[in-house]
Structure formats: structure tokens, C-alpha cells
Copies of this chain bind each other. A is one copy, B any other.
Amino acid sequence: MALIVHKYGGTSMGSVERIKNVAARVAKWHRAGHKMVVVPSAMSGETNRLLGLAKEIAAQPSPRELDLIAATGEQVSVGLLAIALQEAGVDAVSYAGWQVPIATDSAFTKARISSIDDKRVMADLDAGKVVVITGFQGVDPDGHITTLGRGGSDTSAVAVAAALKAEECLIFTDVDGVYTTDPRVVDDARRLDKITFEEMLEMASLGSKVLQIRSVEFAGKYRVKTRVLSSLTDPLIPLDVEMHSGTLITFEEDDTMEQAVISGIAFQRDEARIIVADVPDKPGIAYQILGPIADANIDVDMIIQNQSVDGLTDFTFTVGRGDFQRATEILTQHVKGHVGAGKVLGDAKVSKVSVVGVGMRSHVGIASKMFRTLSEEGINIQMISTSEIKISVLIDEKYMELAVRALHKAFELEQA
């Protein structure tokens, strides 16, 4: 029998009834002989309620105090779940992050896990107990409570699974897995039985919000077999069905002949494109343009600079649509004159569409198939960027759904 980590999101923990359902599911795994560790999120709405109280008192509350306050949401969850497990006849014990301890750095509200001590948890597991550990939080070297940021419980679960060398980490959520694309956009989007870690990373970072991206990085770094599956099924569903449901994030590329070249179509709707035009093509220009943007805490996504033919070049990049106004102002007021640019132009209504798949490493023609498909639909490509396992294009927002559907069909993703 194996050591298994379950993670449950805030919706799954949202009421006393749902907590009892989680307990029934965990008890089922425990009775089958598995050593069980459970990482629940705060009850849905609780973290917002707590942060809301703090924000009522101060517009910019101390991050250190915010973490101490927010961490209580998960602490309540673990206690309630342990009680529900005991009520279901299972010996259980709960721990806050500092009790394990889950050690982090001191970057309050966005801390990173540095190490997890497995001694206490292992002793409990060996004694036959289910161990319930708070997600989202840890403790820094000075004994201050830290949190990992939004979605941090996914990361906690994967990190705990890595530290305990768990057989598998199951992330129970309100979707039943990872799809070839968003089913709300493409009707016949198909759930993937498997996806590689690298593909998942691209899918997550490109806007498929099933898993927090840091948890995927963790899964990759420590090679934690991670499965995304639904908590909305009957908790007493047969174990051998449940343990093969959802989507498994794997680390070996499938070596069957029938391997899919493309795994999915990811997209990010709310992008904005900014062009700093007619810039002198000389060293340091990229830094002079993007430095002030980074200083303003604005994330930059795609970046393109063409080779110049006349000593002048156009520098183009994308930002989230919410940052478009601010980024344009910074460039116009502080950068344009300084770098001697001709003008600053922009388009706040663009979207990014990407095809993702480890198979494209060994297949030519993916890019041309993608561009031809878009061309046949009359969709103009504004920017292109590529990585080993993905090709992204920037297009007019109004064509986004059309592009996703056409690409999904062209790459035959509806077929297993």
C-alpha cells in the first residue's frame, strides 16, 4: 500500500456537509490500506473575509500581520477535517504549517517553501493516523507565520508529497481534469488522461487555471506524480475507478506510436500590445524600455524586437490588459524622450492563443499548420513567439474563440 497525498480546494471544504464528504473520501482510501496525508484549503470565502477585515483597517496592511491573519483560515479547516475523520472512525491529527514544520523564506504573502520536516508526519502515519496539514502556509526562520500566496495550497500539497516521497498527489478540485482547451469555448474539448509536466506548465502559465503554476514547477522539480480530479463525484465511488480518473501529470513522454503531437490549445484573452516605434538600434535599449516597466511591478509577457535595416527598430511587447494604461503612460512620459523613440503605440484588445505539446519537438510542420489554419479563417497574426513545446500567436481579441475552435479541430484534439 502506498503513501498518498490528497489536496482539497475551498469549494470542497465549503460547508460542514462537504467537509464530511471529504472525510468519507479520505476514509475510503485509508481503509484500503493507504497512508494518507490531506492538505485542505480554507473554507471558500474565508480568506477573502479575513483579508477584507484587514483592508477595512488599513489600505496597505503589514504583510507579516496579513499572513498571521490569513493563515487561520486553513487552520480551522484542518481541525474540522480531523474531527470529521475521527467521526468517520479514522484516527486523525491536524497540524498547522509551523507544527510540521513547513519552513519557508520570509517573503510574506508570497513565501517560498525551503524545506519540510517529515519526522512528525511519518511517525503519525506509521501509527496508523491520517495526517491533515494546512495548505498555503509555513513558518520562516524567525518563527513568523508566512503564506505562499493565492492558490498556495496546491503548492503545499505537492511539496508535502515530495518531502514524504508520496506515491501520488491527488488534487481534488471542481473540474474533473485538464482539457485540450477550455470546454466553455470548444464544445468537444476532451479531457486528457495524461499530460507531461512541461505541457502542464505551459498550459498553466498560458491561462488554464486548473493548478497554480508554482505547484506544477514543484511537481516537475521533484518529479511528484500529480493527478487533477473532481471532488464533486460520490465520495464512495469505487477506489480503483477514482485512482484512474482525472488527468495525470507525468514525467515520461509516452513512447507509443500513436502519441499526440499537440496536447492542447491554451489562450489568454486579456492581453495588450505596446509598440515603441523607431527606436535607435543600439545596446541597452531593451533594458531602458523594460526597466521602468518592471520597476512599476508590471509583468511583461511576449517580447519582440526585429533586426533593424535603417538603424531604427520597433520594440514590441505585451502586458496584461489591466496594466496597459499605466505602462503606456510610463513609456510616453519617462522613456520615449530618453531613448529617442519615434512614438509609443498600443492595442488593448488582443489575445494570445497557443498550441502546446511535447510532440512538436520531433515533428516539423506544426507551425505551418497553425499559421495556415488561422490564415484560412482570415485571422491576422500580430506577433509570434515559440518555445520548445509551444507556439503562441497574438491576434485581435474578437477572433480568439474562432482561432481556438479552428486550431482544436485542425489538430484533431477531439479524438483520443
**Chain A residues in the interface with B (C-beta under 8 A):** 16, 19-20, 50, 53-54, 56-58, 61-62, 64-66, 68-69, 71-72, 75-76, 78-80, 82-84, 86-87, 93-94, 96, 98-99, 143-145
Q: How far apart are A157's CB and chain B's nearest CB, in angstroms?
A: 19
The closest CB in chain B to the CB of A19 belongs to: B57
List of B residues within 8 angstroms of A84 by Cβ: 57-58
Name the contact of A72 in the complex, choosing from B57, B64, B75, B86 (C-beta under 8 A): B75
List of B residues within 8 angstroms of A72 by Cβ: 72, 75-76
Q: Is the CB of B58 within 8 A of A79?
A: no
List of B residues within 8 angstroms of A64 by Cβ: 93
List of B residues within 8 angstroms of A87 by Cβ: 57-58
| Extra A-B contacts (6), CB below 8 Å, given A54-B80, A58-B84, A99-B145 | A16-B53, A20-B57, A53-B76, A54-B83, A61-B83, A69-B80
Q: Is the CB of A79 within 8 A of B94?
A: no
Complex Cα distance, B138 from A276, in Å, reads 59
Complex Cα distance, B22 from A57, in Å, reads 12
Q: Is the CB of A69 within 8 A of B62?
A: no
Name the contact of A99 in the complex, choosing from B86, B93, B143 (C-beta under 8 A): B143
List of B residues within 8 angstroms of A86 by Cβ: 58, 61-62, 65
The closest CB in chain B to the CB of A16 belongs to: B56
Decide: A69 near B75, CB < 8 A? Known: A53-B16, A80-B53, A98-B98. yes
Chain A binding surface, main DSSP class: helix
Complex Cα distance, B59 from A86, in Å, reads 11
User: What are 22 A-to-B residue pairs whose CB atoms are below 8 Å?
Assistant: A16-B57, A19-B57, A50-B76, A53-B80, A54-B80, A57-B84, A57-B87, A58-B83, A58-B87, A65-B80, A65-B86, A65-B94, A66-B83, A68-B75, A68-B94, A69-B75, A69-B76, A69-B80, A71-B75, A72-B75, A99-B144, A99-B145
List of B residues within 8 angstroms of A82 by Cβ: 62, 65
List of B residues within 8 angstroms of A99 by Cβ: 143-145
Decide: A68 near B58, CB < 8 A? Known: A98-B98, A99-B143. no
Residue picked from A83, A84, A94, most chain B C-beta under 10 Å = A83
Complex Cα distance, B96 from A159, in Å, reads 25
List of B residues within 8 angstroms of A93 by Cβ: 64
List of B residues within 8 angstroms of A20 by Cβ: 57
List of B residues within 8 angstroms of A145 by Cβ: 96, 99
The closest CB in chain B to the CB of A144 belongs to: B99
Decide: A69 near B65, CB < 8 A? Known: A56-B16, A57-B19, A58-B86. no
List of B residues within 8 angstroms of A76 by Cβ: 50, 53, 69, 72
